[in-house]
């Protein structure tokens, strides 16, 4: 198993392409979900240095905090609440340019200014969401959504 990543490229697209390739090498034959999600958050953090990166796992009627990189986080999020719960409910990625303008936003940190949440689907059911926060307004675009959807689709095989 590789123990580091080497991200190449200058554009966000190039960095995502390099990240996805490196993650597949880093994960290798590993099958433990927590280990995989933990290294995935670390790799995203190393690549982009976003404020907060983490997974929330579906546990019954709530999302429970999973592996993450960043400051303290909400431990539980209800279905349909906040950006994460709404992404789970709608089964779609959400790009939020300004979290203060999102109805019902759950503020785990007032430093978060923009957010992207991408669901992980297994047999058409959401099993987890990838949540990324930035301290910069309008930090996420459809480019991020495209590559993070690809990442989450790949991660779904481990659930």
What is the reported pLDDT for 107?
78
Q: What is the pLDDT of residue 2?
A: 55
Buried b (16+ CB within 10 A) or exposed e, 112-130: bbbbbbbbbbeeeebbbbb
pTM over 0.85: yes
For the chain (length 159 residues), average pLDDT per consecutive 10?
Answer: 74 96 92 97 96 98 97 95 97 96 85 96 97 98 98 97
Q: What pLDDT shows up at residue 1?
A: 47
Q: Element (H or E) spanning 132, and its range? A: strand 125-134
Q: Where are the domains of the chain?
A: 12-158
* Domain covering 12-158: architecture: 2-Layer Sandwich (3.30)
> What pLDDT does 66 receive?
98
């Amino acid at each position: 198993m590789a123990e580091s990543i080497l991200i190449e490229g200058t554009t966000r697209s190039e960095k995502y392409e390099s990240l996805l390739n490196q993650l597949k090498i880093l994960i290798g034959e590993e099958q433990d979900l927590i280990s995989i999600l933990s290294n995935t958050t670390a790799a995203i953090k190393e690549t982009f240095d976003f404020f907060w990166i983490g997974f929330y796992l579906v546990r019954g009627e709530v999302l429970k905090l999973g592996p993450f990189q960043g400051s303290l986080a909400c431990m539980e999020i209800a279905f349909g609440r906040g950006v994460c719960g709404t992404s789970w409910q709608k089964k779609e990625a959400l790009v939020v340019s300004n979290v203060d303008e999102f109805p019902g936003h759950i503020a785990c940190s007032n430093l978060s200014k923009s957010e992207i949440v991408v669901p992980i689907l297994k047999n058409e059911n959401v099993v987890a969401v990838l949540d990324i926060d930035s301290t910069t307004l309008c930090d996420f675009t459809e480019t991020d959504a495209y590559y993070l959807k690809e990442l989450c689709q790949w991660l779904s095989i481990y659930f």
